[in-house]
A and B are shown apart, each in its own frame.
Chain A
Amino acid sequence: MSLLLEAKKLTKRYPGTLALDEVSFDLKPGEVHCLIGENGAGKSTLIKILSGAINQDSGKILLEGTDVSHMPVRERAERGVSVIYQDLNLVPQLTVAENIFLGHEPRTSMGTVDTKRMKKLSEKLIEMLGVPFSIQSKVGDLTIPLQQLTATARALSLNGKVLIMDEPSTVLSGKDLQVLFDVVRRLQAQGIGIIYISHHIEEVFVLGSRVTVLRDGHFVATKDVADTSKDDLIRMMVGRSINDLNKPLGGRTVGEEVLRVEHLSRRHYFDDISFTLHAGEVLGIAGLVGAGRTEVIRAIVGLDRFDNGSIYLHGHPRAIHSPGHAVSLGIALVPEDRKAEGIISVLSVRANATLSVLPSMSTFGFLHFAKLKSKVDGLARILAIKATRLEAPVSGLSGGNQQKVVLAKCLATACRILILDEPTRGVDVGTKFEIYRLIDELVRSGMAVILISSELPEVLTLSDRVLVMSEGWIAAELDARTATQEEIMRNAVPRAEARAAVRTVQ
């Protein structure tokens, strides 16, 4: 069988880093070739080079035998190479049909937009995907899964031969995930070659024909899915065995109740959420994206409102008005989206780290600079924050170190309840383990921790108990010592699809 796409020895250098080191890759028609690797492994760079968004320093790319190594994006797209990026790149104010044909609208002989033809063609594309929805809707009004379908239709609108999907499953769960898989299989059946990037290794075994692993810009291996296992893949990705990650850190003494939530509800987001949290323990909250975990904790810290239910701190009922109020009550939050809500890029490490505690570091509003300095110095040492100067803007720090700054900000408040929402997302492996160790230390000294994570090994490693949320309610409460990833997944997935979605997990 002739190859659809062939990339030979692609190399890309940035000042200071080697993003890709002679990486070779190929794609057959009608196959789903999964591309996996940790953050920073080079996946994004590779697909940007394949699509033409950036140029490689050396190496060749062949599309059905033709050399497209230096062809611009438009031409490559016309020849059939399209990318569906993670952020979808849709214009919310335009309709589905308009988005699908953005930039290549069908024209009448007079040069105006042929809206009739655009409508018909759009409907045909949507039909091809197998999920009917109205092409007249404004994209901004659609749910995320439908937006993704729009993006997929767009990618196919230009003579699709090679479809590159960049982490399409990250924002999906349950039924929508199934729809995605069905769409991929449909396209595959039509001979389209798909490069599928995902962090969820289980999906490789559900969808993939072959899988390629990248690590630190290097090509590690390409394997037929049938010839490999999840543990194999992880070992290749990380250079470490899954066992290291999975060892639960045990031996903690659980103290008194510090937080109790009863029947918390918010229409459309979560319903009847009840749980308790004790000093010295980690309560993990697992679940698929969209299960409502982040919404629940945002309600607890006063960022969002809730309709019903009550919150008790140390046994006393409390109404938490705002994050500032939460801080004064001893609750601190490390938010999910670091860039948008965790750090202020233009400000220094110092400014970021002390942001939550300024009231206690000032008299009549005037800041105690000496106190602030020693506080930050102390925290930087404990957390081992690697920054050239603490006065430099945090934008210059790596993702892992930025996350440490966010942690410093929380620890500075001397909180007793620490809520972590995806704390190791976008963080390099080394820092990840440092953070694990830190959490463990904090908990041993009496801190109560709520941990939201989509990484099951992480949840099981760190937690004492695990709540599994599914579609807005608590599906199960498990003991982390005895629970398995499979058990969590089974509870996290909506009932009817449980069987279909259970992945073969080692």
Chain B
Amino acid sequence: MSEVNAVATMKLGKLHQKLLNAKLIILALFVVLLGAAQVASHGTFFEVQNILNILAQNSISGSLAVGQTMVILSSGIDLSLGSVTALSSIVAAMLQDHGPLIARSAALGVGLACGLINGMVIVFGRVPPFIATLGMMQAALGVSYVVSNGYPIYEKEHVALAFGLDKLGAVPMIAVLWFLVAVVAWILLRFTRFGAYVYAIGGNERTALTSGVSVARTKLFIYAFSGLCAAIGGIISINRLGYTQPTLGASYTLDSIAPVVLGGTSLFGGVGGVWYTMLGVMVAGTLNNLMVLLGVNIYIVQIVQGVIILSFVFLFIRFQKR
């Protein structure tokens, strides 16, 4: 067991040890992936338009993945992100007559509220995050249906995302927004007291508690933040798709977890970060794009995705020091 690992790491030299760093592995794989993409697509991959497409396509799951990263870092999980995205986008769509400011604020409010409810159920109800957010996923889905009566709601008049622009130069505004969300999360995690607490709780919650960390307050904040991320995802999805409906969130939840895992953040908490996840999103996005370019049967894509996730996780677990 640990005996074998000890011997194995002794046999590899110091240089090899350095290389077997999770971050470097994904980076290397990503580069290989990019290379393969370029070759396989006969050069169409690196066309500007294609790259921009990838960014746009992944803005929603990317924003959700940022919130999910923070939750997973604290050794929790948020299964409700997809439903909250759908719900907040429905609320925004229903209020579209009142102007984008009110509609979007309402969406953010919904996301925040759902997140806080999750947090409170977890902290005060002592319900494990898996079940608490599973419950929210169902509840938010139900509310989405009730509010919309099951029908899709269309954007009557397209409203630009920000400052009257849908593009910042050539870059889609939704990608910019996604990036901003990531930066905010990064700043919170890296530079603030709150971020330090997130990692501490994920690393060992009991120690954090005994050391005086306000675990309850931090957790409430974490889930509120991921709720906000879901709401932002909802706003992006209306802007991108032009309509919304309750079933929208169906795949988003798991789509928000996969990049976190691909990026190397440990499901056990305490290890990882936002940029790891961003890399994970790009890897997933590139893969999808590549398969589309190659004209791969859309159904095979799913199979490949599954296999890729398995392989990545396998590699991480093998090469991460325990």
Contacts and interface: CB of A to CB of B under 8 A. Distances in A.
Interface of A: 14-15, 54, 303, 322-327, 333, 335, 340-347, 351, 354-356, 358-359, 361-362, 365-367, 409, 413
Contacts of A342: 207, 210
Nearest to B205: A344
Interface in B177-200: 191-194, 196-197, 199-200
Residue picked from B196, B197, B212, B214, most chain A C-beta under 10 Å: B212
Given A323-B210, A341-B210, A344-B203, 5 more contacts: A15-B7, A356-B212, A362-B193, A365-B194, A367-B193
Nearest to B216: A322
B193 A351 contact: no
A326 B214 CA distance: 12
B311 interface: no
A428 B77 CA distance: 39
B267 to A, nearest CB: 13
Contact of A324 (B6, B196, B213): B213
B6 A341 contact: no
Contact of A344 (B6, B200, B214): B200
Contacts of A15: 6-7, 10
Contacts of B208: 344, 355
Contacts of B197: 358
Contact of B206 (A341, A351, A366, A367): A341
A340 B7 contact: no
Interface in B130-150: none
B211 interface: yes
Given A15-B7, A341-B206, A367-B191, A322 B199 contact: no
Contact of B212 (A54, A323, A365): A323
Nearest to B5: A15
A324 B207 contact: no
A364 to B, nearest CB: 9
Interface of B: 3, 6-7, 10, 191-194, 196-197, 199-200, 203-204, 206-214, 270-271
A322 B210 CA distance: 8
A324 B214 contact: yes
A345 B206 CA distance: 12
A366 B192 contact: yes
A355 B214 contact: no
Contacts of A356: 211-212
A414 B247 CA distance: 55
Contact of B191 (A343, A347, A366, A413): A366
A393 to B, nearest CB: 9
A341 B193 contact: no
A341 B208 CA distance: 8
A83 B165 CA distance: 72
A367 B192 contact: yes
Given A323-B209, A324-B214, A346 B271 contact: yes
A355 B192 contact: no
Contact of B196 (A333, A345, A367, A413): A367
Contacts of B204: 340-341, 343-346
A345 B269 CA distance: 12
B14 to A, nearest CB: 12
Contacts of A335: 210
Contacts of A346: 203-204, 270-271
Given A355-B200, A359-B193, A340 B207 contact: yes
Contacts of B3: 14, 54
A366 B190 CA distance: 9
Contact of B6 (A14, A323, A333, A351): A14
Contacts of A340: 204, 206-207
Contacts of A14: 3, 6
A325 B217 CA distance: 14
Nearest to A409: B211
Contacts of A341: 204, 206-207, 210
A347 B271 CA distance: 8
Nearest to A342: B207
Contacts of A355: 196, 200, 207-208, 211-213
A351 B200 contact: yes
24 contacts: A14-B3, A15-B7, A54-B3, A303-B210, A322-B212, A323-B210, A324-B212, A326-B212, A340-B206, A341-B210, A342-B207, A342-B210, A344-B200, A344-B270, A346-B271, A347-B199, A347-B203, A347-B270, A351-B196, A355-B200, A355-B207, A358-B193, A366-B192, A367-B192
A345 B205 CA distance: 11
Contacts of B206: 340-341
Residue picked from B193, B196, B210, B213, most chain A C-beta under 10 Å: B210
B160 to A, nearest CB: 33
Contacts of A354: 196
B270 A365 contact: no
A230 B164 CA distance: 85
B264 to A, nearest CB: 13
